[in-house]
Amino acid sequence: MSDAAIPLGDPEAPRPPRAARVPRIVSIHGRTVIDDYAWFRDRSNPDVHAWLEAEDAFAEAVMRPAGGLQEKLYGEMLGRIRETDVNVPWKMGDWLYYSRTEEGKQYSIFCRRREEPEGEEEVILDLNELASGKEYLSLGELDVSDDGSLLAYSLDYTGFRQYTLYVRDLASGRLLSDQLERVSSIAWAADGRTLYYVVEDEAKRPYRLYRHAIGGPADELLYEERDPLYRIWITRSGSRDYLFLTSASATTSEVRFLEARDPAGSFRLIEPRREDREYYVDHRGDRFWIITDDAGKNFRLVSAPRSSPGAESWTEVLPHREAVKIEEIEIFENHLVVIEREGGLDQFLVIDLRSGEQHRIGFREPVYSAAAGTNRHFETTRFRLAYESFVTPMTVYDYDMETRELKLLKQTDVLGGYDAGEYVSERLHARAADGTMIPISLVRRKDLDPAGRNPLLLYGYGAYGYPVPVIFSSNRLSLLDRGVVFAIAHVRGGGEMGKEWHDRGKMEWKQNTFTDFIAAAEHLIETERTSPEHLAIIGGSAGGLLVGAVLNMRPDLFRVAVAQVPFVDVVNTMLDASLPLTVGEYLEWGNPNIEAEFRRLESYDPYLNLAKRRYPAILVRTALNDSQVMYWEAAKYVARLRALKADDNPLLLKVNLGAGHSGASGRYDRLREDAFDVAFVLTQLGIWD
């Protein structure tokens, strides 16, 4: 890497206020943790806001010479989108529901029409009207009562992911007086007048279930989860006959059930929780259908009679398989679809519940993502699914489970003459230090020499058992068409290769996540697909932790890095049990109050392990109202890195003062953010047009 960064603007970097700041000093397990920038946590301090605003202004000033490129990228990205568009309707009751967008409007409009061909459109929720005069808007829940008369929906106006629930009379359009705070999940009873909802505590843990009668008396508390490791949620079965209350930690769960037509009834427990045992439930006919890891980490499928649903009555339908992970099930009147992962790819196994016959829905591309669509019609032979890949835009199908016919309903338009044949996707494997083969999904232009030491952007995540999906992005074409290769390193900690893949990248095995990513980068370099001078990396949230950790371990390996809302202040955050997510995530990262786990966290904490060394060009993104990774993590990281790094490469902190973890909420605003990030990567790779 050269001594000088690709020339951008050269304003003076922000400096912390001169007023003396007392560092936060914590003594734990014989170690002293000094945090010189702990004062960043005080959002009421005007110096904090001044610092964040100065950092954002500095980032804008540095990138000003690339303003023309940003505008060009924004125009390209916008030009590929059909701004006025309609999504595929889904059926519930006598209605077809759908959302649509209109040119020039930031948000979706939710609508319905009667199922008959000439049914007139009825707008049930226009987010653009609700967002008028607001800097941010996010929709949480959206659910219509069984008789189609009432709409329950929740909104967040800050980005903190703290939602208020509203109820609207769809006949009159009138907003009812029923307004509920801190709601995380909801479900209607069959009477259409009783609503069950879950609320969060001060640490944003969903912990209480209430029963609410529309326009009725005070709400009734039905359940409170007192164990801080657990969170709860309420759902409705695929048959619509039952309500399920699930309580789960990261490793253990239990489920209670109630008939949807008995809103005054009491929830009954299916099977008491047992440490390190998970199960999840759906319903059809006289049986509950349950996926459980009681026989192996990748789950098996069982069923049980409604009258005695405990584990002693479970009958196996599909056994546990070492190479196949059951993710979830979709259930219908005569069929059941098991959503599985095998070889890192999504699979659908269809079971005829009358005959027991099984078959899979086949897909041909080497890397892709497939997921269940909205399936709210129980008495059907059609399974709605969504499919996409690096080269195939989002495509919605109906699959007839009887005839095995796949019917195309809609493929997202990519304007501007997109030709999938001009691109090629591949699946590669890198060998980790312990011999494990790490999958790498890759896409490039077909006319690009694969061994040409090309500019390459490598993405990673690796946490919570979340498998990074291989999806289409029309914005990504602005990279590919400039000769940049895009790749995903499917590192351990994710769920691509089953539950064991997750387990081998968390807790005492967390270092595997980082060394797997480094192995993927080294493989791409050794096979001459890129070089350290041409390699960029990107990750967000837990993926931002990954970026921060590998930059400390191997800063020489990368030219440029983008860390979005990064979880980089690991030890300090996990020491604060009052913060959202902290206690529940002891089972993912570790509890620093336990010495061995503290030592592990300390060993890779990106903030604590910053040192006086050379780092590549770095862009860090944060948002003031982020409730998942607090803004001060990124701010502290950048401030400390500025004081330590021994290079002249750009270090930028881009701050959204009116959003949360997911960034801007409006679709045009998101394009602006994407254009900024892509412009930063391109210019640092020496690409200016």
Q: Which residues are catalytic?
A: 541, 626, 661
Q: How far is CA 258 from the centre of its chain?
A: 30
Q: Which helix (H) or strand (E) holds 31?
A: strand 31-35
Token readout for 579 is: 């913060």
The number of beta carbons lying within 10 Å of the beta carbon of residue 215 is 10
The answer to whether the Cα torsion of 66, 72, 76, 79 is positive or negative is positive
For residue 27, give every residue at least 6 positions away whose Cβ sits within 8 Å of its Cβ, in sequence order, or none: 33
Q: How far apart (Å, rounded) are the C-alpha atoms in residues 284 and 271?
A: 18
**Is residue 462 a contact partner of residue 505, using CB atoms and an 8 Å limit?**
yes
Strands, E assignment, 446-565: 456-459, 485-489, 535-540, 560-564
Q: How far apart (Å, rounded) are the C-alpha atoms in residues 382 and 404?
A: 9
**Is residue 566 a contact partner of residue 545, using CB atoms and an 8 Å limit?**
yes
Residue 322: burial class (beta carbons within 10 Å; 0-12, 13-18, 19+): exposed
Q: Which helix (H) or strand (E) holds 96?
A: strand 95-101
Q: How far apart (Å, rounded) are the C-alpha atoms in residues 457 and 484?
A: 7
Q: Which residues pair with 283 in a beta bridge?
A: 288
Amino acid at 460: G
Q: What is the DSSP string of 564-582?
A: ES----HHHHHT-TTSTTT
